[in-house]
Amino acid sequence: MQTKREGRLIRFGSAAAWLSVTTALMAQGTTPSTLAPASSSAHQIFDLSLFVIAITGGIFLVVGGLLTIALVRFRARKSDPLTEPAQIYGSTQIELAWTVIPGLIVVVLFLATARIIFAIQDAPRPAAAVDVTAIGHQFWWEFRYPKYGVVAANELHIPVSSDAAPKPTFLKLTSADVNHSFWVPQLAGKTDLIANHVNTMWIDPKAAGLYLGQCAQFCGSQHAMMLLRVYVDSPEQFDAWIKNQQQPGRKETQVAAGRKVFETQACMNCHAVSGTVATGRFGPDLTHLMSRATLASGAMDNTPQNLRQWIKAPEMFKRGALMPAMQLNDEQLDQVTAYLETLK
């Protein structure tokens, strides 16, 4: 039974983790924004939004201007007669105008939107395209690269795509549990992840760098902390990353005690470490855990101190996370943390 004090600590820990992530993103200047498109589809969506804003802004100015004129010019005056003014009924011209013009505006917006949707969905697939399967979990992301035999979590690495050498990334999106939504504002629009159903999308970022996004569909208590990081690498960096991810988990003798704790506790039932007996699929693959910048899908920086605290009490950082506290003693915590630190 959870005490009131423990409940307050959990709420405080979750709030502190959320605040630290938000502050860090603002400090890095990497807050997700649709106003800085960095891929072809994002540019098309951005241009469409400017077109829609121009039309709706014009409507606002016309309606607001006419309303202002009516309020100022025809306001009540002391000299006005108390009788009701003359009423005009059945103006065919006015009725046609307020029916036809809005109808035409709706048709124009519909056609413009449909053109962009079909242009994005029917984009040709180059032979050099990279395939990635993205699976949404409560509350983290799993990324599988079937061509390379690589499994990653929370941090998606893809190559930059140029006009001279197009190499877009095509994603298959599905869910392991509830509905999620994949959204990296600078790279593409939102696409839902649904259990037992595969949706697709593609991105072709034109500039290397880090792009941030998150789940955009309410999926549970930690929906807001289901963040994701997309690293757009140069071709050389991407090849090096793939080569490193294809290596099995290290088995260094100085951390054998921690590996034994990991493999004899319930950790191995949920997590996988390539080259070991740990083959779990419920939690993130930990083969190259320390190559990632964050823990718990962006909830905190990936440091030894945070890693130890996360293993000890996940609820302190991410209330509602499905990872249980393993009730390890301090010595076991130190040993497991030391082992996981070697997985790079």
- Read off the CATH number of the domain in which 274 is found: 2.60.40.420
What is the Cα 262 distance to its own chain's centre?
30
In this structure, what CATH number is given to the domain that contains residue 72?
A: 1.10.287.90
Q: What is the pLDDT of residue 29?
A: 44
Question: Which spans in the chain are helix H?
Answer: 4-28, 40-73, 92-121, 235-245, 256-264, 267-270, 304-312, 330-341
Integer angstrom CA distances of residue 220 from 10, 35, 52, 135, 289 = 16, 28, 33, 16, 25
Residue 200 forms part of a structural domain: no
Could you tell me how far CA 128 lies from the centroid of its own chain? 25
Long-range contacts of the stretch 237-245 (C-beta < 8 A, 24+): 237/208, 238/157, 238/158, 238/159, 241/157, 242/145, 242/148, 242/150, 242/157, 244/288, 244/291, 245/145, 245/148, 245/150, 245/152, 245/287, 245/288, 245/291
CB atoms within 10 A of CB 204: 26
* C-alpha to C-alpha distance for 322 and 113, rounded to whole angstroms: 40
Segments forming the whole domain that contains residue 62: 40-77+86-121
CA separation for the pair 76, 89 (Å, rounded): 22
Neighbouring C-beta atoms of residue 132, cutoff 10 Å: 22
pLDDT for the residue numbered 15: 45
What is the number of structural domains in the chain?
2
**Is residue 27 in a domain?**
no
Residue at which a domain ends, from 121, 142, 175: 121
Phi, psi of 227 (to 5 degrees): -90, 165
Is residue 277 in some structural domain? Answer: yes
Q: Is residue 312 part of a domain?
A: yes
Q: What is the structure's pLDDT at 178?
A: 94
Per-residue pLDDT of the chain (344 residues; tens, 9 = 90+): 445 554 444 444 444 444 444 444 443 445 788 889 999 999 999 999 999 999 999 999 999 999 999 999 888 888 888 888 787 777 888 889 889 999 999 999 999 999 999 999 999 999 899 999 999 999 999 999 999 999 999 999 999 999 888 999 999 999 999 999 999 999 999 999 999 999 999 999 999 999 999 999 999 988 888 999 999 999 999 999 999 999 998 888 899 999 999 998 888 889 999 988 988 889 999 999 999 999 999 888 999 999 999 999 888 888 888 888 888 899 999 999 999 999 99
Report yes or no: 335 and 326 within 8 Å, Cβ to Cβ. no
HSE of 233, CA atoms in CB hemisphere, 13 A: 16
Q: Which residues of 133-161 are buried (b: 16+ CB within 10 A; e: fewer)?
A: bbbbbbbbbbbbbeebebbbbbbbbbbbb
pLDDT at residue 152, as a whole number? 95
How does DSSP classify residue 225? G
Report the pLDDT value the prediction gives residue 26, as an integer from 0 to 100: 41
Q: What is the 3-state secondary structure (H, E, C) of 265-318?
A: CCHHHHCECCCCCCECCCCCCCCCHHHCCEECCCCEECCHHHHHHHHHCHHHCC
Distance CA 306, CA 189 (A): 33
Burial bucket for residue 266 (CB in 10 Å: 0-12, 13-18, 19+): exposed
In a domain, 126, yes or no: no
| Dist CA 184 CA 187 (whole Å) | 6
Q: How many angstroms separate the CA atoms of 288 and 290, rounded?
A: 6
In a domain, 323, yes or no: yes
Q: Is the dihedral of CA 130, 136, 139, 145 positive or negative?
A: negative
CA 329 to chain centre: 35
pLDDT at residue 21 in the model: 47
**Single residue among 101, 121, 141 that ends a domain in this structure:** 121
**Domain boundary residue, one of 96, 121, 146:** 121
* Side-chain half-sphere exposure of 337, counting CA atoms within 13 A: 18
Instruction: Judge whether 244 and 288 are in contact, CB under 8 Å.
Output: yes
In a domain, 268, yes or no: yes
Q: Is 181 exposed, middle or buried (0-12, 13-18, 19+ CB in 10 A)?
A: buried
Cα 162 from chain centroid (whole Å): 23
Looking at the domain assignment, is residue 199 inside a domain? no
